[in-house]
Amino acid sequence: MMRHEITHRFHSTFKVSFSCQLCDRPMFYGVKCKDCKYLCHKNCAARAPPSCGLPEAFVDMFAQTIITTNNKGGPGGGDTDDDNSWGTRQNSVTAQEWEIPFEELNVVDAVDSGNFGSDQVLRGYWHGDVAVKRLHLPEDILQNEKALELVKEMFKEEVANFRNTRHDNLEIFMGACVEPTRLAIVTTYCKGDTLYEQIHIRKTKFSLNKMIDIAQQICLGMGYLHSRNIVHKDLNTKNVFFDNGQIVITDFGLFALKQLCRAERKGLWLPIPKHWLSYLAPELMRKLNPHYGPECNNINFTFSSDVYSFGTIWYELLTNDMPYKNPTPEITIWQVGRGLKQPLINLQAPREIKNILLMCWSAERPKFSDIHNLLESLPRKRVQRSSSFQLDKTKTIFR
């Protein structure tokens, strides 16, 4: 993963209703970066991460640098890329070893479309049942050579993430189709229901023991991803499957590509998928921009934001409901971005169960290994559910 250090250009600002993006405390006076719009207290500026977003004017230059660098050979000039190869990746595995010609896939039917309409999950056959996750590039990218090369580079990075993962609770990478008009990642096909279908459609009432087992398997899979320095970025119950009694996590690390390939743009506006905001951590919520532009891609997902998403999954398991059932996305963004939490007053459960949710939704969140240990120590008692409860700041236990 590439890292860069670009110093922020701070200037004083007055932001009475915002929180510091470093310490997460309320901010009245502070500083704001002229380029990436990073907001923090003046005293926090010296500790702000030196990772200012790349200004739009330099995107083309940056893309060309990537292309030029990756087309150069190694020491001695013996390893150069040609038009039919994307070169070697980690562990010296060449592209040809995982490339799958799209014509070799026997696509049966469509299973699902992604959150942002830019990706589609197909059921197919390639030496067995497979899931084919297609990324549909908009015409403006297909017709822009530099943009297309940048997408290729991003696609290779995500393929590398998939290829280097092997865990019982993660889907298995089979290969990828690399034609720009038919970009796709091929994985094992999960034949069971998603956790979303079990909770919200079938209305399955899991026993506490089963809830703990599901949550622990998610923690094991996510803990492994984080140990490989991979952030899921889109952990939700639609990406968690039951497959032969096993929990399988899918679609990890693909968010950046999905965003870049957005097909559901409506002018300058980006539609927000149903329930997507319920999994988004407050620090990310505060960076959302309703307009389609450079700032839309400046959402820095972290291990901690994955933990927040897990907290929402834990809430769904406990209540058979979604948090933040507001009439408009704007209300959810306003509430969560300012630290309001979904109340748990109607959830009759042991304190230890609620504490896990509190920790996952707090500013300082535990690691998945710690959550797994907490789940292991939970008392096996019956959880009593009641009807969902609307957000009421005066009655929340999160005060």
Q: In terms of residue numbers, what domain contains 119?
A: 97-189
Last residue of a domain, one of 156, 189, 222: 189
The CATH code of the domain that includes 6 is 3.30.60.20
Last residue of a domain, one of 135, 161, 189: 189
Q: What is the pLDDT of residue 113?
A: 58
In a domain, 77, yes or no: no
| 166 and 201 within one domain | no
The pLDDT tens digits along the chain (399 residues) read: 444 567 788 877 755 446 778 877 766 668 888 877 788 888 888 888 876 655 444 445 545 554 454 454 444 444 444 444 343 344 434 556 788 888 898 888 777 655 544 467 888 899 889 999 888 777 777 788 887 887 777 787 778 777 888 999 999 988 888 887 788 889 999 989 999 999 999 999 999 999 999 999 999 999 999 999 999 999 999 999 999 889 999 988 766 555 555 544 444 455 677 888 899 999 988 887 655 443 445 578 899 999 999 999 999 999 999 998 766 778 888 888 877 778 777 788 888 999 999 999 999 999 999 999 999 998 775 555 555 545 444 444 333
| 178 and 104 within one domain | yes
Q: What is the pLDDT of residue 357?
A: 94
| 120 and 265 within one domain | no
Helix H or strand E encompassing 276? none
| 182 and 310 within one domain | no
Q: What is the pLDDT of residue 256?
A: 56
pLDDT tens digits for 317-367?
Answer: 999 999 987 667 788 888 888 777 787 777 888 889 999 999 999 999 999
35 part of the active site = no
| 305 and 197 within one domain | yes
In a domain, 130, yes or no: yes
Task: Provide the domain count of the chain.
Answer: 3
Count H helices, E strands: the chain? 11, 10
- What lies within 8 Å, CB to CB, of 288 at 6+ separation is 280, 299, 333
Q: What is the pLDDT of residue 330?
A: 81
| 315 and 198 within one domain | yes
In a domain, 18, yes or no: yes
pTM of this prediction exceeds 0.75: no
| 138 and 150 within one domain | yes
Half-sphere exposure of 160 (CA within 13 A, CB side): 19
| 265 and 281 within one domain | yes
Backbone angles phi, psi at 29, to 5 degrees: -115, 145
Q: What is the pLDDT of residue 86?
A: 40
| 183 and 239 within one domain | no
pLDDT tens digits for 176-197?
Answer: 888 877 888 899 999 899 999 9
CA distance 102 to 156: 17
| 332 and 286 within one domain | yes
Q: Environment class of residue 189 by beta-carbon count within 10 Å: exposed (0-12), middle (13-18) or buried (19+)?
A: buried
Task: Report the Cα–Cα distance between both ends of the chain, in Å, rounded.
Answer: 39
In a domain, 40, yes or no: yes
Q: What is the pLDDT of residue 379?
A: 78
The CATH code of the domain that includes 147 is 3.30.200.20
Catalytic member of 234, 306, 321, 370: 234
Q: Which amino acid is at 340?
A: L
Last residue of a domain, one of 157, 172, 189: 189
| 156 and 15 within one domain | no
In a domain, 358, yes or no: yes
Q: Environment class of residue 169 by beta-carbon count within 10 Å: exposed (0-12), middle (13-18) or buried (19+)?
A: buried
The CATH code of the domain that includes 293 is 1.10.510.10
Q: Environment class of residue 140 by beta-carbon count within 10 Å: exposed (0-12), middle (13-18) or buried (19+)?
A: exposed
In a domain, 351, yes or no: yes
| 162 and 177 within one domain | yes
In a domain, 87, yes or no: no
In a domain, 106, yes or no: yes
